Amino acid sequence: MKEGIGEGEKHKAVQQFKLQLNGVFEPFNCYGLGHEIPFAKEITTELALQLHKRLNGVDHPIVYELAKRKYRSRAKKA
């Protein structure tokens, strides 16, 4: 059985993914929506993690509202 990567490597991979999303969401700046980019990146990342779980056999729903709730609960802690 294949071993997974450590927590540090997981964190690094997620951060790299978020950096790549900067390019995806850059056009929002043209329309004055730059302030929405951090939220969109966090939600997109959470949805990608949900998809990853599902594709790896974990019975986990892929739901925007769950991603938004998780993001907001983390934002309150910060």
Residue 48 is assigned to a structural domain of this protein: yes
* Domain membership flag for residue 15: no
pLDDT in tens, 20-52: 999 999 999 999 999 999 999 999 999 999 999
- Per-residue pLDDT band for 2 (boundaries 50, 70, 90) equals low
- Residue with the bigger pLDDT between 71 and 14: it is 14
pTM of the model: 0.80
In a domain, 10, yes or no: no
Position 5 in a domain:
no
In a domain, 54, yes or no: yes
Q: How many domains does the chain have?
A: 1
Q: Which residues contact 28 (CB under 8 A, 6 or more apart)?
A: 34, 36, 37, 40
Residue 64's domain comprises 32-78
Residue 19, in any domain of the structure: no
Mean pLDDT of all residues in the chain? Answer: 89
